[in-house]
Amino acid sequence: MEEAMANKSIIKVTEFVTANELANMMSVSVTEVIKVCMTLGMFVSINQRIDAETISIVAEEFGFKVEFVGVKEVEEENVVEADNEEDLTNRNPIVTVMGHVDHGKTSLLDYIRKTNVIAGEAGGITQHIGAYEVELHGGQKITFLDTPGHEAFTAMRARGSKITDIAVIVVAADDSVMPQTKEAISHAQAAGVPIIFAINKIDKPGANPEKIKEALAQLNYLVEDWGGKYQSQDISAKHGQGVDSLMEKIVLESEMLALKANPNRLAMGTVLEASLDKGKGYVSKILVQNGTLKIGDVVLAGTTFGKVKAMYNERNKSVKTAGPSVPVLLLGLSSAPQAGDSFRVMADEKEARNIALKREQLQREQGVRTQKHITLDEIGRRLAVGDFKELNIIIKGDVDGSVEALSDSLIKLSTSEIQVNIIQKSVGQVNEADVMLASASNAIIVAFQVRPSLSARQIAEREQIDIRTYSIIYNAIDEIKSAMEGMLSPDLVEEILCSVEIREVFKISKVGTIAGCMVLDGKITRNTKVRIIRNGVVVYTGGLGSLKRFKDDAKEVLKGFECGLNIDNFNDIKEGDLIEGYEQKEVRRTLSKN
């Protein structure tokens, strides 16, 4: 028994575990796991993967020991050699542009790149991580990462800050320091990168950069103008005012960091995005962080591998090599790697295939272990809640980052009464397999920036599966939220219509007891539901038998008029009783996070 108890407190995981999976394995709430991570100075989202060291610390907090299954075999073959100091050369800085939605991040990059990115973004908001290499007048090159600003993209923003050297936080001078701006600053601080503030839209009437600096000072971010350590620059992204000065400050910051890399080694870096292109196959947007990537190299990224067939820069021009700090589109991987995966070039294709297969197997094992089946406790909880409902969703998207961000946001909509389950999430168009899975699991399909194939659409019509297509992420979130609110049974709200006092009582044979009344408030109608109140206590609830004014039947009697009435199936009425007229209305409920 002691041995069984000891084994119970040991959880077996791989390095691929997310905050949500770890919480499930320990049978604790995911919010508790996130809280522990925050005390460690890490800001993680539900679906964000946690490194091995953090997993051990978090598990220990909840009284569990961690065993890493199979990681040794996989990683022993995957040891990365350290670089010699003499091999290192200067590399370009990687700069992430972060901030609140519509504060001008993409406009700033537009001006720098002299192109218009916004026109191609749905709803005028950036929905993917963009990576651009820019050459300044002096020949200095900077790699920019543009992260989305909408709140749903927390996971994507977090990724952006982990692979960056410098964070530029854009704040609009005619607005204020918004929650997403604070969150972006937190991500940058958690990643330990220097921050430069770009105060944008100074050309607009009502712009007040000093107000922004004051708000930042209140958050303990003193800019250099105010005697602090953080660089800041007033800019107008639209007209280019102050942008050159901002570039100089980025170059100055990067010189202080003394960024180095070894271009003469096998490449390694991070996957920014992955998508499925109809003509090209799986396309991965990657950022080389060390070494040089060449066509023909064998690349291992997460659970996928492949030979580099072609590479393109952000302007869609073919390139043969990509050195440190260079972002490229990569063709040739066997499937879509997960955004945020690290990649490296392997010397041997067979070895790369073996490691990828082992990782895939471990991930599958992990999935089986963390799958939550219904338990007696769960059934009891649902019975206690009463009307418990579930909403099963399959998410398909154009790129992995958007799928992850949408999944994250929809899971957060879960309440104690409605559970949101993401049955499957993947990149690519909606196919027949997705529709059949939706049919089997009674799910709806959310297609983000992708459309169903003709055969999938026909099966969906036959099986009556709901496929919702969206191109703006917050429209998808709002619609799902509205649907969930529709699933909640409505609240019955009572409205008091009138108050009537019984002044005299008449007993009439064959008719019953008739009350002579005065309407004190409101309006009583023939169909009003009533309750008799005697000395403040309800003695009867029912309907009216008749309602008269003098000898005539009346449809309604207003405040200040007398009337005669009798109560259906109730004769025990007395002088001084109050008759309260009421109606019950159904009020649509909204989601509450209790």
Give the pair of three-digit tokens for residue 328: 């490229």
Q: Which residue has the tokens 């041997």?
A: 348
Q: Which domains does the chain possess?
A: 2-69 (no CATH), 94-258 (3.40.50.300), 268-367 (2.40.30.10), 376-487 (3.40.50.10050), 491-587 (2.40.30.10)
pLDDT of residue 304: 86
Q: State the average pLDDT over residues 48-54.
A: 76
Kindly report the average pLDDT of the chain as a whole number.
78
pLDDT of residue 122: 44
pLDDT of residue 126: 41
154-187 pLDDT, tens digit per residue, is 455 555 546 778 888 888 888 778 877 887 787 7
pLDDT of residue 148: 61
Confidence of residue 76 (pLDDT cuts 50, 70, 90): very low
Give the pair of three-digit tokens for residue 443: 């799910």
Q: State the average pLDDT over residues 56-69.
A: 82
Q: How many CB atoms lie within 10 A of CB 561?
A: 14
Q: State the average pLDDT over residues 19-35.
A: 84
Residues for the chain: how many in total? 594
pLDDT of residue 502: 92
Residue type, 257: L
- The rounded radius of gyration (Å) of the Cα atoms in the chain is 32
Q: Which residue has the tokens 């168009």?
A: 429
Confidence of residue 37 (pLDDT cuts 50, 70, 90): confident
pLDDT of residue 501: 92
360-398 pLDDT, tens digit per residue, is 766 665 555 544 444 556 556 555 656 567 788 889 988
177-228 pLDDT, tens digit per residue, is 887 788 778 777 776 778 888 888 888 887 788 888 888 888 878 887 777 7
Tell me how many helices (H) and strands (E) the chain has.
Answer: 16, 31
pLDDT of residue 342: 79
Whether 358 has a pLDDT exceeding 80, the answer reads no
Strands 556-558, 512-525: pairing is antiparallel
The H or E element spanning position 408 is helix 400-411
Confidence of residue 518 (pLDDT cuts 50, 70, 90): very high
pLDDT of residue 254: 83
Q: State the average pLDDT over residues 280-292.
A: 83
502 vs 573: CA distance, rounded Å: 8
The more confidently predicted of residues 507 and 340 is: 507
- First vs last C-alpha separation in the chain: 38
Give the pair of three-digit tokens for residue 78: 């995957």
SS3 547: strand
Q: State the average pLDDT over residues 45-74.
A: 74
446 vs 396: CA distance, rounded Å: 6
Contacts of 210 (CB under 8 A, 6+ apart): none
DSSP assignment of 373-403? ---HHHHHHHHHHSS-EEEEEEEEESBHHHH
Residue 560 — left, alpha, or beta (φ > 0 → left; ψ -120 to 50 → alpha)?
left
477 vs 153: CA distance, rounded Å: 12
Q: Which residue has the tokens 């604790």?
A: 28
Whether 547 has a pLDDT exceeding 50, the answer reads yes
395-439 pLDDT, tens digit per residue, is 998 887 778 888 888 888 877 777 788 888 888 888 888 888 888
Confidence of residue 563 (pLDDT cuts 50, 70, 90): very high
Choose the most confident range, by mean pLDDT, from 37-41, 323-327, 400-404, 443-447: 443-447
Q: Which residue has the tokens 């490229």?
A: 328
Give the pair of three-digit tokens for residue 351: 């070895």
113-144 pLDDT, tens digit per residue, is 764 444 444 444 444 456 777 777 777 788 88
